[in-house]
């Protein structure tokens, strides 16, 4: 009897997550229904199975979290599920159009994305249920750093080249994008390093003009770390990742030092670096010119952006309706430009809702950071949240012609295995950090 | 600087930031917009940062700073999306369209103008599958605000019982008719509901929130009463039209019915139901058809009134170059072999008209043989064309809807079939008022009104507007149906009609101080006693009122219809007869 009462109390403690999850599933189910109604008009068993499995998987995770009763945050998981659901629907919607327009390469992406999402849910379960200690991340920091750098190096040497960038490592059945993994490893390494040198970095010893600099022995590894990373990424021609890593680094540095000036100087340095790269690298030049005036070369460098703006304009307030637009007119509509595809089919309402989702996710993530137990967990939470929020911002602003376009995925929504798996792993980590009642031996 | 001043400055900066962003939304230049956005967000962040500064320790403070940056960043994306949509979507579409080759450009789809009848269809007979409370319903008022229908304690009452044929009734036993049916959506408050609200109500099954509108009619209760009194208890109809607009000022029909006797009280007892059923049974079986609105649905032979149409057609088409053109008025006019010749109502009419006479005088003394000749000179096609312009059709080719849309109305006919008029005898008969023509009193009032209105036929209407407590949801606009004759012809016809009052049979309608133009009509009936007709306009210098009166079996036009019309015009012009 007492057990039942306790179980009831535990389930009652996570009602909000359940409600939000059900809302997300309703949205996904309605979208799927609308898609079936406009596109094929035929309900396939595989669609029903997938959507039920999708709902069941996340409900099970939520239920398990409730029964364990560690008091994790209740909004992060539903937002991730909603975004992943939208991504699943978009992949399902775009696949036939992509196949028709660009060829057989794209056949099967809908099913693959479903597999990635389920895999992501598994990774999330691993991160939050397997009894491991967060301290391990701290203890093996150099392992993580070297592993990350090695991955990038291997990719640079043996990677598969696609679209002029060598970003993929072929593992036979699956092409890994090591940059995604590097993102998490970088966050973990920076969190451990910055936390253990918090005092020195905050205090400052040297003066460089108006800047207080921390002692060189402690500053050096940081400078080297991002220098090497960014250097490698420049070799790999992945501007989006470079920008993202840099933003993550600056955010974490800002939290540790409390000095906005570091961040400002850092951004300025990045802009200087980009300006220096401008005459050297054609792909940087192309991106910047396409941003400054896409209309000057609407069938060349500006093609993607002109198409994207046209798709958004066609979407209007409420969109053409899912399945009723022509989003594959924009190249890469399933990955980098999925936000534009959503803008065309769900309209301003859809893109606005998506933006709000990411904003809430960011706020929740930073709240988790504020309530974290120790400095390391706080920095980890800040890093993970910034990684997802900044990535969302960079690609949403890039795809809508607010900032120069740098190709990265829209977290959870874009098609892509590495990014989906890693994003769910990050959510798992965030959940673990947010657990207010976790037993001390798991710290 | 004291802290308070800094706070105030920060808040002013925040407001300034909103203005900067708001103005930026409308700048077509993308880079300038980005500058506005950046500056605006920075300005807005100032007061927020001031508020945040005073709370928490350093590390919480920096994380909160990140939260602010995240919110501002995503706000920037949201604002950019809004700008893309609100102010730039059209420009983008145009720019993309200009990129494609002119040949490949899609033609602009022509959006078909909805049929006017469809557009003003305001929901008669429309059913909503939602619970509409009949107890909530707007009032019906005359043009001066006098109440003609209202719902008191859930029961519809009609303070003026003589308007049942126009306003109709809302009865739980016999449905909704007349204006009550035509403007049901406005009166019940369904017209203002959005489709989504209706859908919502359907899905959830809740009663909808009705905002009933009051109907304001064009009727003037004073003139309506005068017309009612003038017609008295004789079968017939009176229609009084405001010439410049086509608004119907008075419309009387007799016999009529009291709509109150068909409305059930709520709750209703068995006795109430039986009383209403008995009243309905009596009304529907009476041979004098009290449910028929004779003013718009009664179809009568026009008699000599139609000579106005023939004369206007002759002048407008140039068959008669001017009103003084010579026309003869013989006692007998043979038309075709085998057909009886046309004869006048009285012999030796040429002694009054003069011989040879002119159009003015043959009109004033209503000479049949003269108008038979004019009709034959016009020819069947031209005569039919003018009849059509005045709104009269032939039964076999009747198309379209009546000009009056607010209540049920009939379209008048000049002949059963167009071929009928091809026979000279038939054309001659029709031209002076016999033959197969069947017209409504409203048709004849419109005939008079269009001649008075420089040849423009206005759409007649009964409902001026529908108004909820805070706004007008329907408003009738005076509408020209068509130009039937040239303004010059209309001026000549007015003069002819005035002369008809000065020297002719219509003389008794003359009013002191006002120039009236009129034409009487005596329509033969199988029963022997003719229908008594008149149409009149006044004042002829600047016509304001047009009237048509018919008194069934009232004898000659000047005997019954003329005094009634005179009485109504006197009331309208506020002169003592």
DSSP codes joined into one string, B188-204: HT-TTS-HHHHHHHHHH
pLDDT at A161: 66
Cβ separation A375–B59 shorter than 8 A: yes
Closest partner residue to A348 (CB to CB) among B62, B66, B85 is B85
Residue A109 pLDDT class (50, 70, 90 cuts): confident
Per-residue pLDDT for B401 more than 90? no
Size of interface A-B (CB pairs under 8 A): 112
Query: Residue B92: which of A310, A343, A356 has the nearest Cβ?
Result: A310
pLDDT, tens only, B54-63: 666 666 788 8
- How far are the Cα atoms of A140, A196, A226, A387, B444 from residue A221, in angstroms, in the given order? 16, 13, 9, 21, 102
- To test the contact with chain A by mutation, choose from B40, B45, B46, B63 the residue with the greatest count of A C-beta atoms within 10 A, namely B63
DSSP for A247-281, written as a single string: HHHHHHHHHHH--HHHHHHHHHHHHHHHHHHTTT-
- Enumerate the residues of chain A whose CB falls inside 8 A of the CB of residue B74: 355-356, 358-359, 362, 389, 393
For A70-118, the three-class secondary structure string (H helix, E strand, C coil) is CCCCCCHHHHHHHHHHHHHHHHHHHHHHHHHHHCHHHCCHHHHHHHHHH
CB contact under 8 Å between B90 and A255, yes or no, is no
| Mean pLDDT value across residues B103-130 | 34
Check if B18 contacts A (Cβ < 8 Å): no
The reply to whether residue A356 touches residue B58, judged by beta carbons under 8 angstroms, is no
Q: B203 or B463: which carries more pLDDT confidence?
A: B463
Q: Does A312 contact B at CB distance below 8 Å?
A: yes
Cα(A222)–Cα(A252) distance, rounded to whole angstroms? 12
Q: Is A413 helix (H, G, I), strand (E, B) or coil?
A: coil
Per-residue pLDDT, B126:
37
Contacts A363 to B, Cβ<8 Å:
67, 70-71
ipTM of the complex: 0.89
CB contacts, 8 Å: A254 with chain B:
62, 65-66
Range with the poorest average pLDDT among B140-154, B337-351, B436-450: B337-351
For residue B304, indicate whether it is catalytic.
Answer: yes
Nearest to A229 by CA among A191, A276, A181, A275: A181
Element (H, E) at B221: helix B221-231
What is the end-to-end Cα distance of chain A in Å, rounded? 32
Which residues have CB under 8 Å from A149's CB, separation 6+?
A: A228, A229, A232
Q: Cβ contacts (< 8 Å) between B77 and chain A: which residues?
A: 355, 393, 396-397, 400, 402
pLDDT tens track for A195-230: 887 776 666 566 666 666 666 656 666 676 667 666
What pLDDT, in 10s, does the model give residues A41-94?
A: 677 788 889 999 999 999 999 999 888 888 888 899 999 999 999 999 999 888
Report the chain A residue with the minimal C-alpha distance to residue B73. Answer: A393
Assess B34–A contact: CB distance below 8 Å, yes or no: yes
**Rounded mean pLDDT of chain B?**
85
* Residue of B494 and B3 predicted with greater confidence: B494
Q: Which residue has the tokens 């390494």?
A: A189
* A278: confidence class by pLDDT, cuts 50, 70, 90: confident
CA distances from A394 to A85, A286, A293, B341, B503 (A): 21, 17, 19, 98, 94
| Catalytic option among B45, B221, B304, B357 | B304
Q: Do the Cβ atoms of A402 and B70 come within 8 Å?
A: no
* For chain A, percent of residues with pLDDT exceeding 70: 87
Give mean pLDDT, residues B178-202.
Answer: 77
Inform me whether the C-beta atom of residue A409 falls under 8 Å from chain B C-beta atoms: no
Q: Which two tokens stand for residue B556?
A: 């000659």
Orientation of helix A303-315 relative to helix A338-370, angle to 10°: 80
- CB of A397 less than 8 A from some CB of B: yes
The mean pLDDT of chain A is 82
- B517 backbone dihedrals φ, ψ, rounded to 5°: -115, 140
pLDDT above 90: percentage of residues in chain A:
26
Of B56, B67, B58, which is closest to residue A258 (Cα–Cα)? B58
Search chain B and give the residue with CA nearest A355.
Answer: B74
Paired sense of beta strands B175-176 and B214-217, if any: unpaired
Among A403-417, B42-56, B373-387, the range of highest mean pLDDT: B373-387
Give the model's pLDDT for residue A397.
93
Task: Find the CB nearest A397 among B30, B77, B88.
Answer: B77
Tell whether pTM > 0.80.
Answer: no
pLDDT tier at B122 (50, 70, 90 boundaries)? very low
- For residue A344, list chain B residues with Cβ-Cβ distance below 8 A: none
Q: Is there a contact between A313 and B92 if contact means CB atoms under 8 Å apart? A: yes
The predicted structure's pLDDT at residue A318: 85
Q: What is the model's pLDDT at position A162? A: 63
CB-based contact, A391 to chain B, within 8 Å? no
A80 in contact with B at a CB cutoff of 8 Å? Answer: no
Checking if the pLDDT of B447 tops 90, the result is yes
**Residue-wise pLDDT tens digits, A388-426:** 999 999 999 999 989 888 878 899 999 888 899 999 999
Kindly state whether B65 is in contact with chain A, defined as any CB-CB distance less than 8 angstroms: yes
Task: Flag if A255 and B70 touch (Cβ within 8 Å).
Answer: no
How would residue B108 be classed by pLDDT, with cut points 50, 70 and 90? very low
Burial of B204 per CB tally in 10 Å (0-12, 13-18, 19+): exposed
- Binned at pLDDT 50, 70 and 90, residue B90 comes out as confident
**What confidence score (pLDDT) does residue B110 get?**
34
Q: What local confidence, expressed as pLDDT, does residue A172 receive? A: 59
Range from A229-233, B137-141, B482-486, B561-565 carrying the lowest mean pLDDT: A229-233
Q: How far apart are CA A347 and CA B517, in angstroms?
A: 65
pLDDT at A245: 85
Q: Please give the pLDDT value at position B452.
A: 94
Task: Kindly report which listed range (B123-137, B260-274, B293-307) carries the lowest average pLDDT score.
Answer: B123-137
Give which of B59, B72, B98, B196 to mutate to test A binding, by max A Cβ within 10 Å. B59
* Closest alpha carbon within chain B to A295: B95
- Name chain A contacts of B94, Cβ cutoff 8 Å: none
| Greater pLDDT, B338 or B214 | B214
């Amino acid at each position: 009897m007492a057990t039942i009462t306790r179980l009831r109390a535990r389930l009652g403690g996570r009602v909000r997550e359940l409600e939000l999850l059900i809302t997300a599933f309703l949205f996904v189910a309605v979208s799927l229904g609308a898609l079936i109604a406009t596109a094929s008009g035929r309900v396939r068993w595989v669609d029903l199975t997938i959507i039920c499995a999708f709902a069941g998987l996340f409900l099970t995770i939520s239920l398990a979290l409730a029964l364990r009763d560690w008091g994790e945050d209740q909004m992060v998981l539903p937002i991730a599920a909603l975004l992943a659901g939208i991504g699943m629907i978009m992949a399902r919607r775009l696949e036939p159009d992509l196949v028709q327009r660009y060829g057989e390469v794209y056949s099967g992406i809908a099913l693959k994305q479903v597999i990635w999402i389920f895999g992501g849910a598994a990774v999330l379960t691993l991160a939050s249920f397997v009894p491991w200690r967060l301290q391990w991340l701290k203890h093996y920091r150099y392992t993580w750093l070297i592993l990350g750098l090695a991955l990038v190096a291997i990719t640079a040497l043996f990677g598969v080249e696609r679209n002029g960038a060598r970003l993929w490592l072929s593992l036979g059945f699956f092409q890994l994008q090591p940059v995604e993994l590097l993102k998490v490893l970088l966050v973990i390494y920076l969190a451990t390093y910055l936390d253990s040198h918090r005092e020195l970095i905050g205090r400052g010893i040297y003066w460089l003009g108006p800047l207080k600099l921390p002692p060189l022995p402690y500053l050096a590894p940081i400078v080297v770390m991002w220098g090497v990373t960014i250097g490698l990424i420049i070799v790999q021609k992945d501007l989006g990742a470079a920008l993202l890593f840099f933003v993550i680094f600056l955010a974490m540095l800002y939290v540790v030092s409390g000095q906005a000036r570091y961040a400002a100087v850092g951004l300025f340095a990045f802009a200087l670096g980009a300006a220096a790269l401008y005459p050297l690298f054609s792909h940087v030049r192309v991106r910047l010119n396409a941003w400054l005036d896409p209309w000057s070369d609407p069938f060349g460098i500006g093609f993607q952006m002109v198409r994207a703006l046209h798709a958004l304009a066609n979407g209007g307030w409420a969109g053409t309706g899912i399945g009723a637009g022509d989003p594959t007119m924009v190249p890469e509509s399933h990955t980098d430009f999925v936000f534009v595809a959503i803008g065309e089919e769900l309209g301003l309402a859809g893109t606005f809702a998506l933006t709000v989702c990411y904003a809430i996710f960011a706020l929740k993530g930073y709240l988790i950071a504020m309530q974290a137990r120790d400095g390391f967990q706080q920095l980890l939470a800040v890093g993970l949240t910034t990684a997802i929020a900044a990535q969302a911002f960079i690609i949403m602003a890039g795809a809508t012609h607010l900032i120069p376009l740098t190709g990265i995925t829209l977290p959870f929504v874009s098609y892509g295995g590495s990014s989906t798996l890693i994003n769910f792993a990050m959510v798992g980590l965030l959940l673990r950090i947010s657990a207010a009642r976790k037993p001390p031996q798991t710290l | 600087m004291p802290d308070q001043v800094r706070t105030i400055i920060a808040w002013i900066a925040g407001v300034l930031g909103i203005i900067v962003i708001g103005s930026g939304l409308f700048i077509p230049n993308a880079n300038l917009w980005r500058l506005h956005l950046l500056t605006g967000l920075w300005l807005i962040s100032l007061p927020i940062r001031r508020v945040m500064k005073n709370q928490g320790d350093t590390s919480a403070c920096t994380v909160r700073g990140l939260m602010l940056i995240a919110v501002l960043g995503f706000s920037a994306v949201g604002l950019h999306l809004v700008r893309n949509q609100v102010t730039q979507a059209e420009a983008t579409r145009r720019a993309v369209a200009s990129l494609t080759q002119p040949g490949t450009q899609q033609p602009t789809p022509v959006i078909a103008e909805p049929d006017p009848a469809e557009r003003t269809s305001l929901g008669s007979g429309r059913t909503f599958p939602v619970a509409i409370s009949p107890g909530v319903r707007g009032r019906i008022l005359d043009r001066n605000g006098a109440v003609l229908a209202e719902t008191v304690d859930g029961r519809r009452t009609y303070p003026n019982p003589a308007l049942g044929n126009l306003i109709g009734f809302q009865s739980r036993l016999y449905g909704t008719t007349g204006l009550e049916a035509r403007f049901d959506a406005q009166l019940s408050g369904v017209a203002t509901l959005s489709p989504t609200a209706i859908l919502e109500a359907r899905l959830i099954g809740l009663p909808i929130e009705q905002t009933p509108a009051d109907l304001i009619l064009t009727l003037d209760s004073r003139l309506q009463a005068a017309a009612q009194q003038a017609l008295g208890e004789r079968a017939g109809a009176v229609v009084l039209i405001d010439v410049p607009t086509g608004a119907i000022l008075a419309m009387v029909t007799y016999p009529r019915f009291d709509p109150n006797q068909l409305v059930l009280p709520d709750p209703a007892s068995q006795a109430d139901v039986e009383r209403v059923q008995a009243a309905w049974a009596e009304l529907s079986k009476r041979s004098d058809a009290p449910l028929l609105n004779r003013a718009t649905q009664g179809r009568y032979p026009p008699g000599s009134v139609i000579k106005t149409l023939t004369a206007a057609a002759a002048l407008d088409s140039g068959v008669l170059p001017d009103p003084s053109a010579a026309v003869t008025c013989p006692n007998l006019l043979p038309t075709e072999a085998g057909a009886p010749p046309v004869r006048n109502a009285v012999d030796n009419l040429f002694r009054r008209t003069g011989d040879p006479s002119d159009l003015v005088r043959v009109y004033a003394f209503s000479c049949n043989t003269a108008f038979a000749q004019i009709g034959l000179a016009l020819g069947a096609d031209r005569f039919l064309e003018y009849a059509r312009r005045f709104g009269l059709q032939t039964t076999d080719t009747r198309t379209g809807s009546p000009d009056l849309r607010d209540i049920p109305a009939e379209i008048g006919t000049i002949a059963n079939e167009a071929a009928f008029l091809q026979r000279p005898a038939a054309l001659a008969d029709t031209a002076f008022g016999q033959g197969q023509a069947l017209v409504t009193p409203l048709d004849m009032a419109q005939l008079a009104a269009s001649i008075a209105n420089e040849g423009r036929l206005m759409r007649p209407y009964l409902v001026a507007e529908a108004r909820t407590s805070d706004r007008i949801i329907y408003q009738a606009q005076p509408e020209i149906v068509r130009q039937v004759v040239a303004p010059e012809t209309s001026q000549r016809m007015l003069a002819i009609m005035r002369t008809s009052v000065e020297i002719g049979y219509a003389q008794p309608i003359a009013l002191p101080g006002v120039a009236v133009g009129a034409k009487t009509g005596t329509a033969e009936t199988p029963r022997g006693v003719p229908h008594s007709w008149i149409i009149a306009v006044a004042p002829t210098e600047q016509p304001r009122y047009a009237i048509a009166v018919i008194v069934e079996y009232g004898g000659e036009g000047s005997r019954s219809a003329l005094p009634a019309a005179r009485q109504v015009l006197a009331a309208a012009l506020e002169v003592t007869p």
